[in-house]
Amino acid sequence: MRNRVLHSFPILLLKLHLKKNMALVGIWVLLVLIFLGDFGKVLGIPYLFLDPEYLNKVSWLGFFMMGIGFAIFTMAFHMTTYIMDAARFQFLATLSRPFIRFCVNNSLIPLVVYLVYIFSVIAFQLDNISQDGWGIMGYLLGFAGGSLLMYLMMFGYFALTNKDFFVMFTDSLDKRLRKVNVSRANVIKRYKDRKLAKDTVDTYLDINLKFKKVREDLARFEGHKLLKVFDQNHLNLVIIGVVLVLTILFLGFFREYEFLQFPAAMSVMLIFSILTLMVGALTFWLRSWSTFVVILLFVLLNASSKTPWLNRPHTALGMDYEVEKAPYNLHRMQALLHPDTLKKDKEKTLEILDNWRAKFPKDKPPKMLLIACSGGGQRAALWTLHVLQQMHVHSEGRFMPHTQLITGASGGIVGAAFFRELYLRSLQDPSIQLASSEYREQISSDNLNPIIFTLMVNDLLIRNQYVEYHDRFYLKDRGFAFENQLNKNTGGVLDKPLHAYASPEYHAKIPMMPVAPLIVNDGRKLYISPHHVSYLCVSENSNMPLDEKSQAIDFLRFFHHQDAENLRFISALRMGATFPFVTPNIQLPSDPQMEIMDSGLSDNFGVKDALRFISVFEDWMEANTAGVVLVTIRDSEKNLEIEKKTPPTIMQKLITPLKNIYVNWDNVQTINNETMFNYMKAKVGFELDRIEFEYSTKDFLERQRTTNLTGEVESEDLDVQRASLNWRLTAREKRDILDCIGSIQNQQSLERLSAIFSEKAEKPHDLP
């Protein structure tokens, strides 16, 4: 019995994959780790599979699409392994529908992964949403329906096209069988030989899921005829593989249609399928030369990737890439920071500050608010918007007129920009309810599906589609897909050129809000603002010393001839929110080419920029305000418990140095910000205060514990899962983010804000 199991076709295929096809098996292992939450949980990767969103909601239809994706990847695995390994098992060629029978026996690994996925979905849905059993059953039926539909279509094609040995060689088979003389002793000898052979198959699993013995009397047929059956099957598999890949790529021409923006996890499965099918196709056409050719193609592609044809820039919409490039060198940067230029820009901003002061009674200096919001993907965008809405409610609509500057990074600045635009519109349209849940739903709507789909059908190959913006054409890429989806989610209110905010900022209707991404080339910041802010680029000394390195570049002046003022504002937001590998770094029209990435790498909390602004206009603030309040909106805890250390494994020793850099980057920035704030507080001649909001599970859990009326609360019951760093949030993550405003610290911060805007506090002229 033991030998029968060890020499059964499913077990031998499993052993062969573990020995020979570890790259393909590795993809299945990666999927299992993702489903179990052991890979990519911080980035929210498991939730893309366990809670797929399609057409802006999680439903059976999203799971139906996931079923299709799983089925396509599973068939790609079957097709590739059949092409590479089926000829080792020549008995297959003597069976009817050999490929289908191969798939049945090759399904051990996919079956295990399917079961892990189903149980993971059930566990996740029960734990993360208020969904009853019937709702989850609907999800699973949708998943099963998508898988079955795709399997029926593909197996139907194979059943009609793949011929077996008997059909191809009926005449020669009949003659051969008549000549075969198989004695009992010969059969026993060959049976023993097969037992000793490692790859000898005794039994196989038939289509009816019953084990059958391999026929011994077919072993003497000519090998070249058996291989001819495999070649015919292989050709059909390659044809359908090529058709499948071309179909997926063809969909890229219609990717802006919402119904074609597949769930992100489905797009990932299709990418895995394409890569797997490419392995099978190369093996079929190149045989033993496949490894050499793949290496050669990679070397050639890497060498040719520098050519203009393959290395076209990821552009910023609105800018002119056809005119002469902006000179990007130390001499020009030094020239743009001439003392007269710094003085001129500072005087212009002083006019803005005077306009802000004019909104309040002359005899009562107002409090000035500066808001710094941290980055953190969509969770930071939702958290920032939610905090600003709560500030609006608790201040009875008074905090925004007192706010003169908003700084920040990544998702935080996206959420703040959305609120600022809504506030600007509300000045003309009183019907706009700034605290409406509608806007929270908009900013937290999925942004990831179109990005990953575009990556699959467009960016992995050659970008070949253009979009027209203000009479100029720009290549479409996943960065544009992000902008386009953000524009749709927010109702198109942010789709403006940069200069559209020049007048509202100048007349102090809305706060100034420079977007400050990082320049990859030299580590400087790029201040993107409708007003010149060169005074933020160097120290306060108006005569810049020759040995001082400028800390930033004024975008508007540096790219004046490249039409900087017509930069699409959403493109500016995207420059400050470039998530590695998800949205590409933007390249700007300079010589050498300037490359821009996420502002979180230089100042993830926006505190540095706010303090620099205070430093520049310290004298004016002392003379014209009743003090300055810095409001910080963090999407992480400032004070974390010290993590307990355990003896590390060898793998942890290798990974820990890189992990420490990533984990401690926020801690390092926080400590530096604390030092600078305390220094500034002691330096300035006016009251400098701070109000902090945190997206912190720690404080919310403490509040749950203290307000619990039913007795002891188990720690696992208080475990609130921190939202992932992603451009897509689950229903549970959204709820946790919104609930966190109820923490003790955040409620105290709102109370402090309310006290500032009490009845006795000053009111701007434009408020009732």
More confident residue, 302 or 77: 77
> 475 - beta bridge partners?
466
407, pLDDT greater than 90: yes
Once rounded to an integer, what is the mean pLDDT over residues 605-629? 94
- Helix, strand, coil abundance in the chain, percent, nearest 5: 60, 10, 30
Residue 71 is inside which H or E element, if any? helix 60-85
556: Cβ–Cβ under 8 A, 6 or more apart, which residues?
498, 528, 529, 530, 531, 532, 564, 565
DSSP code per residue over 504-515: HHHTTSS-B--B
Once rounded to an integer, what is the mean pLDDT over residues 407-428? 95
Once rounded to an integer, what is the mean pLDDT over residues 431-435? 95
Once rounded to an integer, what is the mean pLDDT over residues 673-679? 91
392: Cβ–Cβ under 8 A, 6 or more apart, which residues?
399, 400, 434, 435
Q: pLDDT band at 687, cuts 50/70/90?
A: very high
| CA gap 314, 277 in Å, rounded | 29
Predicted TM-score of the model (pTM): 0.85
519, pLDDT greater than 50: yes
Once rounded to an integer, what is the mean pLDDT over residues 742-754? 92
Output the average pLDDT for the chain.
82
Once rounded to an integer, what is the mean pLDDT over residues 294-316? 76
351, pLDDT greater than 80: yes
Q: What is the pLDDT of residue 656?
A: 58
694: Cα within 13 Å, side-chain hemisphere:
18
763, pLDDT greater than 80: no
pLDDT digits (tens, 9 = 90+) for 521-580: 988 999 999 999 999 998 765 555 556 778 899 999 999 999 999 999 999 999 998 877
Q: What is the pLDDT of residue 299?
A: 82
386, pLDDT greater than 80: yes
190, pLDDT greater than 50: no
Q: What is the pLDDT of residue 643?
A: 66
Q: What is the pLDDT of residue 216?
A: 63
236 residue type, one letter: N
232: Cα within 13 Å, side-chain hemisphere:
19
| CA gap 144, 142 in Å, rounded | 5
306, pLDDT greater than 80: no
Q: What is the pLDDT of residue 759?
A: 57
717, pLDDT greater than 50: no
Once rounded to an integer, what is the mean pLDDT over residues 122-143? 82
Q: Lowest-pLDDT range, 175-189, 211-225, 680-694?
A: 175-189
Q: pLDDT band at 167, cuts 50/70/90?
A: very low
4, pLDDT greater than 90: no
Domains annotated for the chain, with CATH where assigned, are 1-171+181-305 (no CATH), 326-638+670-704+713-755 (3.40.1090)
More confident residue, 688 or 196: 688
Highest mean pLDDT among 286-295, 561-570, 721-730: 561-570
Once rounded to an integer, what is the mean pLDDT over residues 362-366? 91
Residue 291 class from Cβ within 10 Å (0-12 exposed, 13-18 middle, 19+ buried)?
A: exposed
Q: What is the pLDDT of residue 180?
A: 42
74, pLDDT greater than 60: yes
112, pLDDT greater than 90: yes
158, pLDDT greater than 60: yes
118, pLDDT greater than 80: yes
Q: What is the pLDDT of residue 32?
A: 94
Q: Are the beta carbons of 692 and 745 closer than 8 angstroms?
A: yes
Q: Are the beta carbons of 388 and 419 closer than 8 angstroms?
A: yes
3-class secondary-structure state, position 369: strand
Distance of CA 648 to the CA centre of its chain: 30
Q: What is the pLDDT of residue 447?
A: 87
DSSP code per residue over 475-495: E--HHHHHHHHHHHHTTTTT-
More confident residue, 547 or 733: 733
Tell me which residue of 35, 28, 439, 458 sits closest to 253, measured CA to CA: 458
623, pLDDT greater than 70: yes
Q: pLDDT band at 698, cuts 50/70/90?
A: low
